Amino acid sequence: MGMFSAGRGLVGLVLAGLLWLSAGSALGASEASSAPDPGRGLLTELAEADYNGKKAVIDTIVASGDERSRRWLESLADGKLQRLKDSGDFVIVLRNRGREWPVVDALTFEDAGEVSRRALDRIRINNALRGYLDSSLALFDLRVDDPQARLVAARDLIGEVDESSVEPIARLLAEESDSDVVTTLELALAIQRLDQGDVEAVEVLAGNLDSRARAALSQASRSDDPTLAAAASEALTSIEQVLKINRAAETLYFGLSLGSVLVLAAIGLAITFGVMGVINMAHGELIMLGAYTTWAMQQVLPGQPGLALLLSIPAGFLVAALAGVAIERSVIQFLKGRPLETLLATFGVSLILQQLVRTVISPLNRTVVTPEWMSGSLMVNDALSLTLNRLYVLGFALLVFAALMLVMRRTRLGLEVRAVTQNRAMARAMGIRATRVDILTFALGSGVAGLAGVALSQLTNVGPNLGQNYIIDSFMVVVFGGVGNLWGTLVAGLSLGVINQVLEPWAGAVLAKILVLVFIILFIQKRPRGLFPQKGRAAEG
C-alpha cells in the first residue's frame, strides 16, 4: 500500500513537471509571437523618410540579410509597396487595375484580399532612387550561386555605382571566382573612379568596347584636368580604331551572308545553263516553291519549327526538282537550240507558277517561324554580334556547294554532265544518253533552287514574288563567275555580296545595285567568259 502511494506521488510529480514545461513553452511562444517584427520597423522607416533618407534605409534593408528584402525593394521600384491608410500595415499590390486591388501582406506574403485603391498610400520614389534601387538589387544577385546570374547583375551595375556601393562591390569582387564577372565588376568600379577624376581608371577602360565605358571616357576627355583629358582622349582614339575593325568585320559578315544567298540562288542556274545552254527565267519560281514547301511543312507540324525546317530540306529539293523535270519535259525539250524562244517560254512558265500560288495559297506573304536555335545573335564582343540565322544560311550554302562538287567530281552523273558540257556530240558518240543527262541535270539544278528557297524562308517573308528578287542577281553571278563553273559561281556570289554591302551605306540600296551592274558590264567587256572561263561547248557557244 505504501509503494502504491509512493507511485502515485511520483506520477503526480511527473505530471506537474510536464504541466510546468508546457506552460513555460506556451508562455515563451506567446512572448515570441508578441515580439515586434524588425521588418515592420524597416518598412516604417522607409515610408516616413524623405527621398535622401530613403537611400540610407535601402542600405539598411540590403545589409539586414532578411529573406524578404529583395521582394520589398522590387515592389518599391515597381510602385507596388504601399501602406493601408487606416491601420498603417504594409501590403504589396499584385495588380493595380480597377477599383479594388488584390494585395498580400508585405511581412508574411499571405493573401490579404482586395483593397480599394483610395485606402492605399504608395511609398513614393524618384528617378534617382529608382536607379539606386536597381544597383541595390544587383548587389543581391551578386551573391547567388549561378555565375550567369551574377554576370547579368554585374552588367546592371555598370554606370550605376556610387560611393556607398563601392565598398560592398569591392568585397564581392575579392571573393568572386568567375573571370567574366570579375572583369565586369572591375569595369563598373573603374567608371565610378573615372567620374571621380582617377586617371588610373583610364587604363582599365582603355580598349573596352562597352558603350558605357566609351561614354565615361568621352566625358573625361572634356575634363578640366589636362592629364585626365589627355589620357581619356588617347584611350578613345585606340578604341575607335578597334571599332573600325569591328565595323569592317560586320560589313564583311553581312556581305558574305548576302553572297551565300546569291550562291544558293545561282548555283542551280549555273548547272543548267552550263550543261544545256538554257536561259531559265522560271528559276526564281523554283526558289519560291522551295520557300513555300518550308511554310507548308510548318503547317503540317505546328509548334515544331525546328523539325519542320529540317524536313523541308529534302522536301524542298524534291518539290523543286519534280517541278523542274515537268518544265524540262513539257517546254524546254522542244525548244533546244532556240535560246530566244526558250527565254520567252520559261518567262511564261514563271508567270503561270506565280499566279498558281496566288490562286491556290494566297497573294499575301506568309511568315515562316524561325526555330529557337536559329534565333538571336552570337556575341563576339561588345561591338560585334553575328545573327545566327544568317550564320546558318552561310554554312548551309557552303555545305550545298561541297555536296554539288562531290556529285560533279565523284559520281557517274557528274562525269556525264562534264562530258556533255564539253562536247555533246562526242559524248553521244561515246554512248552517253544526253537526253537523260539533260533531265537529271535540270532536276538537280531545280532542286538546288528549292534549297535556296528553304534558306531564304529564314531571312524574309515567303510570297509569290520571292523569286523575282533574285533571278537577275543569279544571272549576274553566273555570268560574272563563268558560265557553268561552280567555283566561279561561289567566288562571284560571295564577291558581289560583299561589294553590294560595302556600297549600300553611302550609295543606297538601289544605286548600289546599279553600280554593281555597271561594274559587271565593264568587266564582261574585258573578260567575256567571266572570272573562270568554262572549257568546251558552253564556252564556245
Parse the chain into domains and list their residue ranges.
Answer: 43-127, 248-371+388-536
Smallest CA-to-CA distance from 123 within 88, 68, 82 is with: 82
pLDDT at 540: 47
pLDDT at 402: 93
Note the pLDDT tens digit of each residue in 42-98: 888 888 888 888 888 887 887 777 778 888 888 888 888 888 888 888 999 888 777
Measured CA to CA, the distance from residue 472 to residue 481 in angstroms comes to 14
pLDDT at 537: 45
Cell (9 digits) for 400: 550545298
Taking CA atoms, 62 is separated from 45, 49, 133, 281, in Å, by 14, 16, 10, 70
Cell (9 digits) for 40: 515592420
Taking CA atoms, 236 is separated from 195, 242, 274, 383, in Å, by 16, 10, 53, 14
Q: Quick check: do 43-127 and 248-371+388-536 share a fold?
A: no
Smallest CA-to-CA distance from 456 within 255, 253, 257 is with: 257
- In this model, does residue 343 exceed pLDDT 60? yes
Q: What is the mean pLDDT of the chain?
A: 82
pLDDT at 449: 92
pLDDT at 4: 41
Q: Regarding the domain delimited by 248-371+388-536, which CATH topology (the fold level of the hierarchy) does it fall under? A: ABC transporter involved in vitamin B12 uptake, BtuC (1.10.3470)
pTM: 0.70
Model confidence band, residue 535 (pLDDT cutoffs 50, 70, 90): low
Q: What is the mean pLDDT of residues 286-300?
A: 93
**The residue to which cell 572583369 is assigned:** 183
Note the pLDDT tens digit of each residue in 120-177: 888 888 887 887 787 777 777 787 778 888 888 888 888 878 776 787 788 888 888 8
451 and 400 in contact (C-beta within 8 Å)? yes
Residue 103: helix, strand or coil by DSSP? strand
pLDDT at 534: 60
Report the greatest alpha carbon distance in the chain: 134
Q: Sign of dihedral through CA atoms 390, 391, 394, 395?
A: negative
- In this model, does residue 30 exceed pLDDT 50? no
Cα-flanking dihedrals φ and ψ of residue 115, to 5°? Answer: -130, 140
Model confidence band, residue 541 (pLDDT cutoffs 50, 70, 90): very low
Sequence-separated contacts (24+) of 225-228 with Cβ below 8 Å? 225/197, 225/199, 227/199, 228/197, 228/199, 228/202
Measured CA to CA, the distance from residue 12 to residue 227 in angstroms comes to 89
Tell me which CATH code domain 43-127 carries: 2.30.30
Measured CA to CA, the distance from residue 206 to residue 213 in angstroms comes to 9
Measured CA to CA, the distance from residue 240 to residue 407 in angstroms comes to 47
Q: What percent of the chain has pLDDT over 90?
A: 15
